[in-house]
Amino acid sequence: MKPQFLFPTWCRWLGLALFLVHLPVILIFKSYDLHSDPNDAGMFSVSHVFFVVTIVLMVSGLFLIAFSRERIEDEQIYQLRLSSLRWAIFANYAILIVCLVFTNSKADYKDLLRLNLWVPLVFFIVLFSYKMFRLNRSLSKEDGYAK
């Protein structure tokens, strides 16, 4: 099997750091109530630039976490990765369609599209981590019975 492009294993930690840096920064920003709608302000206003920087930090961190190579990357893990990605996309679009049907205002549509930037990655990371946990647990049980 031809290896697929994945980031090195250490990129998972870089992605986690980028994502964790995003959380307190956005909380501090919201606590000072500096946030205004980035669409109402000018393109180079402080709130718009801050909004773009935090979104880029969050999405790039999640992207690095999601697509970093495991220590042992074999065909089984490749299949788990593919299955998790497929189910994450299915779930994301199902939720997106339901939300679009029950949404009334333009502002809600914009919020839905902003959420659509990171929700598929979060679904994928959660599903893949859960499947890896189950795989490791089943392998450890097999090793325990083999002794």
DSSP string, 40-98: TS-TTSHHHHHHHHHHHHHHHHHHHHHTBPPSS--HHHHHHHHHHHHHHHHHHHHHHHH
Task: Give the pLDDT of residue 4.
Answer: 73
Task: Give the pLDDT of residue 74.
Answer: 85
The one-letter amino acid at 32: Y
The one-letter amino acid at 129: S
Q: How much of the chain, in percent, has pLDDT values that exceed 70?
A: 86
Query: Which token pair is 70?
Result: 């495991």
pTM reported for the whole predicted model: 0.79
Per the CB < 8 A criterion, the answer to whether 69 and 6 are in contact is: yes
For residue range 92-123, what is the model confidence (pLDDT) as tens digits? 999 989 888 888 877 777 788 888 888 999 99
Q: Which three-class secondary structure state does DSSP give residue 141? A: helix
Q: Which three-class secondary structure state does DSSP give residue 14? A: helix
Cα-trace Rg, the chain? 19
Mean per-residue pLDDT for 70-87?
90
Domain positions in the chain are 1-69, 71-147
Per the CB < 8 A criterion, the answer to whether 15 and 64 are in contact is: yes
Mean per-residue pLDDT for 52-71?
90
Does residue 2 carry a pLDDT above 70? no
Task: Give the pLDDT of residue 147.
Answer: 47
Task: Give the pLDDT of residue 32.
Answer: 67
Residue tagged 């369609």 (tokens): 97
Rounded to whole angstroms, the Cα distance separating 41 from 52 reads: 13
